[in-house]
């Protein structure tokens, strides 16, 4: 899911940040930007939360406003040097995150406390660096991850809620929670999820032959629960996810919850490996990258999962309307 983002660039008008130069005035690291290419570098890991509504996804895209572009631009202004960002899970346009993990390299002299504070002043509230810490030089936000956990939020109400616009998918009828939960059972374990994924382009080898990428993934948890008011939460955890996999699963399970499909149909859809047999693609609005896991013995300097994963009733358990 994740991949390295090229040098960050914002879609806003005006010059982009060049090495050792800020494109506009803003907070910098104590003592001013660090511009020496010879200064030793160190690897840094960060937990990032963002509201996906204003962005064309996480990954850098020339001429588009993206999370990686704005984050890299802020990091470059503070550190005074180019920054290349690698993320644990590359989210699409309109998808949100509470626990995205990234890594990047900075000059050894950069004060990480000041970097976090300065970047948040520039980026908040749309993007927030929740945690920033030095990592082992071999730490990789994508390759070192052992699991990713997503949450999908649905509003099951006949009327829209303006306070949840772009933050939840409105389904204008109640859903059968028991049927939704039964539909999750076939998803658990290791399967080929081709029926629930947008098939990627096959990479071409040096010999000119194309090899089809594997869409086998291992799902360790898939659960539905009732949220406050008319909200429903779906959470799924896997070692990795294919493109649009969570949204395809949610769209199919909503068909089950509405009675348009039987819960038992999910197993046959999965076995078909045919995307046309699955249900609708759920919109990106309600999707959140909730948490990324790493091996306990790993070197990721990230918070304990109990602290970085929002628990029931915490702020990150929202969105919720102030009138619900």
Please list the active-site residues.
92
Q: Do 200 and 243 form a contact (C-beta atoms < 8 A)?
A: yes
Nearest to 198 by CA among 232, 240, 246: 246
| Helix ranges restricted to H, the chain | 67-79, 112-123, 177-184, 245-258, 265-272, 305-308
Residue 204 is classified by DSSP as B
Distance CA 170, CA 164 (A): 9
C-alpha gyration radius of the chain: 21
The token pair at 124 is 């908040």
In sequence order, the β-bridge partners of residue 148 are: 238, 292
- For residue 156, the tally of other CB atoms under 10 A from its CB is 21
Nearest 10 degrees: CA dihedral of 137, 71, 294, 3?
-80
Largest CA distance in the chain: 64
């Amino acid at each position: 899911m994740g991949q390295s983002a090229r040098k960050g660039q914002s879609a806003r008008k005006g010059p982009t940040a060049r090495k050792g130069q800020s494109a506009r005035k803003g907070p910098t690291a104590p003592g001013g930007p660090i511009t020496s290419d010879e200064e030793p570098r160190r690897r840094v890991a960060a937990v990032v939360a963002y509201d996906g509504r204003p962005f064309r996804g996480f990954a850098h895209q020339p001429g588009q406003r993206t999370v990686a572009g704005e984050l890299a631009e802020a990091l470059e202004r503070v550190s005074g040097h180019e920054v290349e960002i690698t993320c644990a899970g590359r989210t699409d346009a309109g998808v949100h995150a509470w626990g995205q993990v990234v890594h990047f390299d900075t000059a050894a002299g950069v004060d990480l406390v000041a970097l976090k504070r300065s970047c948040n002043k520039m980026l908040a509230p749309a993007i927030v660096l929740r945690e920033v810490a030095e990592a082992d030089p071999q730490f990789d936000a994508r390759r070192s991850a052992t699991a990713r956990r997503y949450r999908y939020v649905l509003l099951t109400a006949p009327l829209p809620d303006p306070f949840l616009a772009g933050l939840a998918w409105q389904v204008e009828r109640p859903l059968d929670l028991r049927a939704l939960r039964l539909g999750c059972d076939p998803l658990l374990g290791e399967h080929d999820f081709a029926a629930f994924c947008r098939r990627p382009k096959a990479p071409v080898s040096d010999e000119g032959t194309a090899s089809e990428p594997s869409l086998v993934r291992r799902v360790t948890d898939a659960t539905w629960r009732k949220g406050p008011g008319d909200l429903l939460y779906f959470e799924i955890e896997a070692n990795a996810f294919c493109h649009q996999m969570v949204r395809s699963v949610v769209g199919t399970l909503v068909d089950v919850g509405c009675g348009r499909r039987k819960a038992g149909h999910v197993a046959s859809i999965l076995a078909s490996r045919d995307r046309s047999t699955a249900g609708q693609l759920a919109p990106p609005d309600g999707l959140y990258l909730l948490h990324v896991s790493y091996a306990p013995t790993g070197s990721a300097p990230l918070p304990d999962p109990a602290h970085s994963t929002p628990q029931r009733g915490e702020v990150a358990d929202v969105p919720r309307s102030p009138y619900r």
